[in-house]
């Protein structure tokens, strides 16, 4: 489990197709404190560490994960949001995030509002019903509050701190973004279907 509070920005250093996709991600984390088998959310995708170096870790990514996320568009040099798994006693500053991406949203509009940037994203129709104003979503692993929803489109405001501490300062029109809907919204919808 994760919180959606990004604690490092990594860089894709290497990509190799070896049956599954293998990625090397450089990090500012102290890799001596990372165990093989640890989970690290990389742009919101929970990935398992399979090898470690002094300032990098490798992950193996299945074809299923590549098909459901934006990982297929990763290139060497791309910056990615990183978060280590939640430990008992850690502060829960965002919301509960599983690292299991539900789909990909597209950035369809951007507008500077004061020092913040308002970004409008378009969710897949099957997921849009789970997104509510003032609810939470995880986008590329970042816990964010939804401002408004119109059909499949929803708006998020990014304050300067978020743009500096994450990769959201690099956002551009047309970007494909990993979307994880709020777990609570998923269960409420499921209960309504059963009722």
Please name which of 22, 25, 20, 21 lies closest in space to residue 8, comparing C-alpha atoms: 25
Task: Give CA–CA dist 111/101, Å, rounded.
Answer: 26
119 assigned to some structural domain = yes
Task: Give CA–CA dist 44/38, Å, rounded.
Answer: 15
Tell me the residue range of the domain where 24 lies.
Answer: 8-84
**Domain endpoint, select from 84, 115, 132:** 84
Mark out the alpha helices in 26-99 (DSSP H runs).
Answer: 63-68
187 assigned to some structural domain = yes
Cβ-based burial of 75 (10 A; exposed 0-12, middle 13-18, buried ≥19) = exposed
Task: Give CA–CA dist 192/47, Å, rounded.
Answer: 32
- Residues 83, 3: contact at Cβ < 8 Å? yes
- Same domain for 112 and 182: yes
Please name which of 78, 76, 81, 85 lies closest in space to residue 9, comparing C-alpha atoms: 81
98 assigned to some structural domain = no
Percent of the chain with pLDDT over 70: 96
pLDDT of residue 96: 80
Question: For the chain, what is the mean pLDDT?
Answer: 93
- Same domain for 73 and 118: no
pLDDT tens, 90-126? 677 777 888 999 999 999 999 999 999 999 999 999 9
Confidence of residue 195 (pLDDT cuts 50, 70, 90): low
């Amino acid at each position: 489990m994760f919180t959606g509070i990004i604690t490092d920005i990594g860089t894709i250093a290497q990509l190799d197709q070896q049956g599954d996709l293998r990625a090397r991600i450089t990090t500012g984390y102290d890799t001596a404190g990372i165990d093989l088998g640890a989970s690290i959310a990389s742009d919101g995708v929970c990935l398992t560490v399979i090898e470690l170096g002094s300032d990098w870790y490798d992950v193996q990514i299945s074809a299923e994960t590549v098909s459901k996320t934006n990982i297929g568009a990763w290139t060497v040099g791309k910056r990615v949001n990183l978060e280590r798994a939640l430990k008992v006693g850690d502060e829960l500053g965002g919301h509960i995030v599983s690292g299991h991406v539900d789909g990909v949203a597209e950035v369809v509009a951007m507008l500077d509002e004061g020092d913040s940037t308002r970004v409008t994203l378009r969710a897949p129709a099957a997921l849009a019903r789970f997104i509510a104003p003032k609810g939470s979503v995880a986008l590329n692993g970042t816990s964010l509050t939804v401002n408004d929803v119109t059909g499949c489109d929803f708006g998020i405001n990014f304050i300067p701190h978020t743009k500096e501490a994450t990769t959201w300062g690099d956002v551009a029109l047309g970007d494909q973004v990993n979307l994880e809907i709020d777990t609570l919204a998923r269960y409420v919808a499921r209960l309504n279907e059963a009722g």
